Amino acid sequence: MLFDYFLISIRNLTSRRTRTVLTMIGIFIGIAAIVSLISIGQGMRIAINEQFNQLGTDKLMIFPGGESGVPGGTFGSEAKKLTDDDMNVVKGVSGIKDAGGMAYGVARLKYGDVSKYAFIIGLPLDSSRKVIESMQSLKVADGRDLQENDKSKMTVGSELSKGTFFGTPVMMGEKIMVNDAPYRVVGFMEPVGNPSDDSQVYMPLEEVRKLLNKGNALDYIIAQVVQDSDIDQVKSDVQKALRRFRNVKQGQEDFSVQTTAQLMQTLDVVLNVIEIVFIGIAAISLVVGGIGIMNTMYTSVLERTTEIGIMKAIGARNFDITAIFVVESGLLGMLGGGIGIILGIALSKGIEYITSAVLGVTYLKAYFPLYLVLGALGFSFIVGCLAGGLPALRASRLNPVEALRYE
């Protein structure tokens, strides 16, 4: 009988093609929005997790500003700045293998006749640079890296080397003016995948401090924990050491210490909130689509009153009538969901292409797990069935005699 229900429902839908298509619009718009948003969100989550896996789980990050503040603090914040002395305190904590600090800020870059503003990143040139490079995934694609005792030298991001930043490619060995001071390009960095990051330039730490008048300040410190050490315990020891050195009480810290796992959790929360908000917006389309299915099924009941009377007169049970209408509305939802899935995949792939080809963002990938496709299809079928429930009950309760006399 179930197979017969499907055959009857398919026949009814195909005999009213225009109405069927119009009824499905709300469903496939909602499903398309949900599929595209979730696929992009999942792809972004996977890309971020891959980046954090490259960073490793043996790193601690120390930022200026308390736990409730924004990591990294505010540029030029003298009250909360980190210094070389703080870094030396961190290095002296048991369980810390090495630590390095970075300084950064915005500077004016001039190449030829073109001037633009970009981030300049100050990197240490001693042994601690390995900690920084492993954390930041910094690799030289062409030329050489900065070396100890380098002065007035820089490496530049891929946006500068391929010409999209200044409008003309920066050539190896050429000079770029940084706040009116000349720096020679000795290397091109591998693309990170974000145009903003790929527009940065990297210089010796002391040079950046001098250019930005930072003195001995550090914008953050990265520490590597000894292998097989309890990273949470080491983190606690670092916090205690810095509290003693900076003479602050617990709960009143003017610094924050985070593990890579904590950063991943924070990003997961942000991504979850974004996904929930967008799914909630997309769900409005599903509600509208469900109302459309309900309206169509009520109209269908009126149009087929005589047919329902004939079916009941020859022995069809109330359950049979209900099942036919529920299956029909469910198929409406599932067909709309199928179209929505195809549109959602096309939309998310289009977003992926545009962000990569136009914006240069390569880490934004669409991801389509099987559970997303099957879940969207099943969900749209359920929405259709629920929307058709009341019209189906009304059809099953029609009096066969009155139904046969209906005109």
Distance CA 71, CA 66 (A): 8
Q: Say if CB 373 and CB 381 are below 8 A apart.
A: no
CA–CA dist 290, 294 (Å, integer): 6
Which pLDDT tens digit goes with each residue over 273-318? 877 877 777 777 777 777 877 777 777 777 777 777 777 787 778 8
Burial label for 267, CB within 10 Å (0-12, 13-18, 19+), is middle
pLDDT in tens, 209-234: 999 999 889 998 999 898 888 888 99
pLDDT for 71 beyond 60: no
Helix (H, G, I), strand (E, B) or coil at 136: helix
Structure tokens belonging to residue 217: 């300040």
Specify whether the CB–CB gap between 116 and 166 falls below 8 A: yes
SS3 content of the chain, % helix, strand, coil (to 5): 55, 20, 25
Q: What pTM does this model have?
A: 0.64
Report pLDDT digits (tens) over 100-116.
999 999 999 999 889 99
User: Taking the domains of the chain in order of start, what are their residue ranges?
Assistant: 2-52+265-405, 99-221
Of 156 and 321, the structure prediction assigns the larger pLDDT to: 156
Copy the structure tokens of residue 10. 């398919």
Q: pLDDT tens across 338-379, in order?
A: 888 999 899 888 888 887 777 666 667 788 888 888 888 888
Determine the angle formed by the axes of helices 370-387 and 260-303, rounding to 10 degrees: 30
